[in-house]
Amino acid sequence: MRACIVKRSLSTGVKPNQSASTSTSTLASSSGATNNDSSALRFYGNTGESASSAERMRQVFGGRLDGSGREASSRRDVNAPRLIAGVLVPHKPIEPDNCCMSGCVNCVWEQYNDDIRDWRKKRNLAAEKLNQTEDIWPKDFDPPLKALDFKNVPRELRSAKRKLGSGKRLSSSAYFPTKGAPGAQNLKASNDEDVDANDDEAWGSVPVHFKVFAETEKRVKAKKLLQKKKQLEQEKAASTASIKASNS
């Protein structure tokens, strides 16, 4: 206790044997002098600003500092879907620009990832059915060049289709696989399944860390949901067993 008093007296210039009133007056005078000397550090708040309360809230919770209006995210109906080969294909989702980076339960990047998967699935299904006809995919509706046959590709994009080629050629050894290895037909089927998982065309120029984040969050939530489901099943089984034991 004595050490604390001495330390305080050294910082305030008050001797340890001075009275409490003298110490208080000395502290008040020194505090007032400090405030007068450091007026530049005084906090004035935002009472002098002319912005309304709504404008301040818009800067914190929504809206944009440049004054532009809100733009539709991937969950908004930007344009009407189109019917292609009997499949209702939505427009390509728009990258979200309203992520608050605060770890929301339903993050807009996760929603965008789900929308991309749904759009890509329906687009590939429509391309598969369109290949059985002579119709041409609309050139202004993101044609899936990899999935379309050459005859179904718009004329303006056929040069791009040629550059893509027909994919990697299978080596001759693929037709004579070793024991336990997949044959050529099975290999082609597995490659077709990997197209949907490894196709980065849908994400375009979106930084890869957003895609990794969305995929990781999706797996984590699915794992938690599975664990919760197993826990409920175990509790239900235990409850059923206890009821049977009590009845017997």
Read off the pLDDT of residues 9-23 as tens digits, 9 standing for 90 and up.
444 444 444 444 444
| CB neighbour class for 225 (10 Å; exposed up to 12, middle 13-18, buried from 19) | exposed
- The pLDDT > 70 percentage for the chain reads 56
Amino acid code (one letter) for 94:
I
Q: Report whether 110 contacts 214 (CB < 8 A).
A: yes
Structure tokens at 126: 């429509």
pLDDT one-digit tens code per residue, 59-93: 666 655 555 665 555 565 567 789 999 999 988 88
Mean pLDDT of 230-235: 89
Q: Report whether 224 contacts 216 (CB < 8 A).
A: no
Q: What is the mean pLDDT of the chain?
A: 70
Closest CA to 45 of 35, 55, 56, 34: 56
Contacts of 117 (CB under 8 A, 6+ apart): none
Bridge partners, 83 (sequence order) = 88
The confidence score (pLDDT) of residue 50 equals: 75
Model confidence, pTM: 0.49
Helix (H), strand (E), coil (C) string for the chain: CHHHHHHHHHHHCCCCCCCHHHHHHHHHHHHHHHHHHCHHHCCCCCCCCCCCHHHHHHHHHCCCCCCCCCCCCCCCCCCCCEEECCEEECCCCCCCCCCCCCCCCCCHHHHHHHHHHHHHHHHHHHHHHHCCCCCCCCCCCCCCCCCCCHHHCCHHHHHHHHHHCCCCCCCHHHHCCCCCCCCHHHHHHHHHHHHHHHCCCCCCCCCHHHHHHHHHHHHHHHHHHHHHHHHHHHHHHHHHHHHHHHHC
Closest CA to 110 of 201, 219, 193: 219
pLDDT one-digit tens code per residue, 176-188: 445 555 554 454 4
